[in-house]
Amino acid sequence: MPTHCRIWIPLLFIGVAPLAMAACRAAAPEPTVDPAVAATSASTTPELGNAASGFPAATTAPLAGPSAGGPVASGRGIFRVAFRSALDPVPINTMHAWTVHVETADGTPLEGATIKVSGSMPAHRHGMPTEPKVTADLGGGDYRVEGMKFQMRGDWEIYVDVAAPDGESDSATLPLVLP
């Protein structure tokens, strides 16, 4: 905050608010965007990995869009997890469903697994206002998750806990940006 704004702000309480606010606005610099930073933060669309399922190939780049993402390797590298929202783009304050796709590290769809989904906004230290539930094993490694709802825009992390029928278990964290 410019120094003269710190001087004017106390004057807000004695009735010269319009003058104080105008002085601070006039002195505030225009925000600028470094072209190098803008170029490196632009999102790119990854190539499709499994065209039949519609899920993108694994990538370390930011997600291509808010309605689909992944696959992301689980913490121990046992599984790969991807998602696709039933609504495009992912809405705010609207209950909707996702399809979560789970496969083994070698790309084999994981069927018959127990899946749990949750999410949070680490920067805001809160989670989702709902508790999503898997309502159907759709086959081919796809699971229907109902009860997805986001109460605000920003950077989210979606946590997918996977327990395979053979007893192996692991978790994946998928980043999601809701602009």
Per-residue model confidence as pLDDT tens digits over 125-164? 999 999 999 999 999 999 999 999 999 999 999 999 999 9
User: Does residue 22 sit in the same domain as residue 98?
Assistant: no
User: Does residue 167 sit in the same domain as residue 118?
Assistant: yes
| 115-146 core/surface letters (b: 16 or more CB in 10 A; e: else) | bebebebeeeeebbeeebebeeeeeebbbbbb
Give the total number of structural domains in the chain. Answer: 2
pLDDT at 54: 52
Q: Name residue 150's amino acid.
A: F
How far, in Å, CA of 45 to CA of 4, rounded? 46
User: Does residue 2 sit in the same domain as residue 49?
Assistant: no
Whether this model's pTM surpasses 0.75: no
pLDDT at 66: 53
Whether 40 is covered by a domain: the verdict is no
User: Does residue 67 sit in the same domain as residue 117?
Assistant: yes
* Distance of alpha carbon 53 from the chain centroid: 21
CATH number at residue 56: 2.60.40.1080
3-state secondary structure of 67: coil
pLDDT at 67: 76
Domain with 3 in it: 1-31
**Is 128 within 8 Å of 178 (Cβ atoms)?**
no
Which residues of the chain fall short of a pLDDT of 50?
1-53, 56-65
3-state SS record for 82-129? EEEECCCCCCCCCCEEEEEEEEECCCCECCCCEEEEEEEECCCCEECC
* Distance of alpha carbon 3 from the chain centroid: 38
Whether 39 is covered by a domain: the verdict is no
User: Does residue 24 sit in the same domain as residue 78?
Assistant: no
